[in-house]
């Protein structure tokens, strides 16, 4: 994050704008809407800017810029076409520890203006960190279409009831859960429909029975193989509501960053023979946190029900009658195949696909190898990097040809994705040389031959 988003309170604050052309006029509109006591320094200004200053009581100082123009000011904006003047304004402002924005010169800015969706008092700011203002404006237009104008009235309504709700529900977590239900329910609909009296009645009814808001819930969410864009809408929405997030090592940092900033994060990752938190303790922790009235997200790489032990976790929740939801995710096998350009099925190569785990609970790879011999079936092994030599050996011993194509996809769907291809007889040597890291996924079958032709389009 190159800039920290903040909101300045500028009502009656002394602000100086240097420059009075088209760009300066745009900045003046924003500053005056925010209630700034604006002084414009420029030999000439646009007719619109002159009218704005007259309407809002601003000052036009008809002169060239000097350093004394910054004295006793709280914020500085430079919008002149002269680079040397802008550089001097930046130097003078930083010497006085004043926030300064030089339009279209990110290198001279200590703060920048975002694109704004204004639903006062609800304000949404979008910034490209000065890299692409056009992209930020395009995103603003999309958000404008998604956020009704009545959200401002809803924010005002919530503000009026904030102290009332805090008095009725003093504990932070249940109070937040109460507000989340209000904002997603009938009360909010009544406010946005212009029926605030009815909304107030409904809110008071809900406050009269606050015990119902102490019930927690668990969301078992499949985070997919790594790319945050592969998360479902439901997964992203529920992740934003969580008080606590339990996550494992397969969950990428960009996905974890989608959680609320104030959510507690608990790492419960597991590696082969190295479990940070044993599975039975994870199961119990989900129950305990939910019984404290918290919304708990168990964030799992891939899909919770495909080698994710999700079934074990919800068993205990069901026994304790803890409400839960399971949100499926794109399993690693599908994600790795698509992003590496290897179709798992193809009319000319494979008519079926089989998913298998690369190691069992005791660390062995005791699979029914006789079932893995069809040349028209693709094999996908999860967690098989350590056991790769055994997998290759047993497939060949039980009848697979030694020249059967095989691929290893390392850190699938992420920027670090790497695909290694070979055959059952050569891949072990390739892995020893290239040293891929977990997580990796193994695909066996003639579909691997399509990788070279298709990876440029679907792969990384």
> Which residues are part of a known binding site for NAD(+)?
22-23, 43-44
Tokens of residue 458, six digits: 């679907």
3-state secondary structure of 92: helix
Give the CA radius of gyration of the chain. 30
Among the listed residues 248, 288, 362, 368, the single catalytic one is: 248
Q: How many CB atoms lie within 10 A of CB 166?
A: 12
Q: How many CB atoms lie within 10 A of CB 100?
A: 23
What one-character-per-residue DSSP string does 138-174 give? Answer: HHHHHHHHHS-TTHHHHHHHHHHHHHHHHHH--SHHH
Is 47 designated active site? no
Binding-site members are 22-23, 43-44, 225, 301-303, 306, 331-332, 383, 412
Distance CA 255, CA 237 (A): 12
Distance CA 314, CA 80 (A): 62
Distance CA 447, CA 407 (A): 10
What one-character-per-residue DSSP string does 422-447 give? Answer: EETTTHHHHHHHH---SSEEEEESGG
Binding-site members for S-adenosyl-L-methionine are 225, 301-303, 306, 331-332, 383, 412
Strand partners, 124: 117
In degrees, rounded to 5, the angle at the alpha carbon of residue 249 between the alpha carbons of residues 243 and 254 is 65
Distance CA 102, CA 19 (A): 11
Structural contact between residues 16 and 70, judged by C-beta atoms closer than 8 angstroms = yes
Among the listed residues 270, 274, 294, 453, the single catalytic one is: 270
Is 415 designated active site? no
Tell which residue, 449, 307, 444, has the closest CA to residue 379.
Answer: 444
Tell which residue, 300, 231, 295, has the closest CA to residue 270.
Answer: 300
Q: Where are the beta strands (DSSP E) in 150-258?
A: 217-222, 244-247
Query: Does the CA dihedral 81-84-89-94 come out positive or negative?
Result: positive
3-state secondary structure of 299: strand
Active-site residue numbers?
Answer: 248, 270
């Amino acid at each position: 994050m190159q800039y920290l988003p903040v909101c300045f309170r500028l009502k009656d604050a002394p602000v100086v704008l240097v420059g009075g052309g088209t760009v300066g006029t745009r900045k003046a509109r924003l500053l005056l809407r925010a209630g700034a006591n604006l002084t414009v320094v420029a030999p000439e200004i646009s007719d619109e800017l002159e009218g704005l200053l007259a309407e809002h009581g601003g000052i036009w100082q008809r002169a060239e810029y000097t350093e004394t123009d910054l004295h006793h000011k709280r914020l500085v904006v430079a919008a002149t076409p002269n680079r040397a003047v802008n550089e001097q304004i930046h130097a003078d402002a930083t010497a006085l520890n004043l926030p300064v924005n030089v339009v279209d010169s990110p290198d001279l800015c200590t703060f920048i203006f975002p694109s704004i969706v204004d639903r006062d008092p609800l304000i949404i700011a979008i910034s490209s960190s000065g890299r692409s203002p056009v992209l930020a404006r395009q995103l603003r237009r999309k958000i404008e279409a998604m956020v009704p104008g009545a959200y401002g009235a809803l924010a005002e309504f919530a503000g009026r009831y904030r102290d009332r709700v805090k008095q009725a529900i003093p504990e932070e977590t249940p109070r937040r859960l109460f507000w989340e239900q209000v904002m997603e329910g009938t009360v909010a609909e009544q406010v946005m429909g212009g029926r605030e009296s009815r909304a107030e009645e409904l809110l008071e009814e809900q406050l009269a029975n606050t015990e119902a808001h102490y019930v927690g819930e668990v969301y078992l969410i499949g985070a997919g193989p790594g790319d945050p864009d592969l998360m479902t809408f439901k997964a992203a929405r529920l992740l934003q509501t969580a008080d606590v997030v339990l996550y494992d090592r397969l969950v990428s940092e960009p996905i974890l960053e989608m959680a609320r900033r104030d959510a507690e994060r608990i790492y419960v990752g597991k590696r082969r023979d190295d479990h940070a938190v044993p599975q039975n303790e994870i199961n119990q922790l989900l129950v305990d946190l939910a019984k404290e009235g918290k919304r708990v997200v168990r964030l799992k790489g891939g899909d919770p029900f495909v080698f994710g032990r999700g079934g074990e976790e919800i068993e205990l929740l069901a026994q304790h009658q803890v409400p839960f939801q399971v949100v499926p995710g794109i399993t690693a096998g599908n994600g790795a195949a698509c992003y590496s350009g290897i179709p798992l099925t193809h009319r000319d190569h494979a008519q079926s696909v089989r998913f298998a785990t690369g190691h069992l609970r005791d660390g062995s790879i005791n699979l029914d190898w006789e079932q893995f011999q069809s040349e028209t079936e693709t094999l996908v092994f999860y967690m098989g990097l350590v056991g790769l030599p055994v997998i290759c050996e047993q497939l060949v011993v039980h009848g697979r040809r030694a020249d059967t194509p095989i691929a290893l996809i390392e850190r699938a769907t992420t920027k670090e994705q790497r695909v290694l291809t070979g055959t059952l007889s050569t891949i072990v040597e390739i892995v020893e040389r290239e040293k891929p890291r977990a997580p990796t996924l193994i695909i066996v079958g003639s579909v691997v031959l399509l990788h070279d032709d298709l990876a440029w389009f679907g792969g990384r």
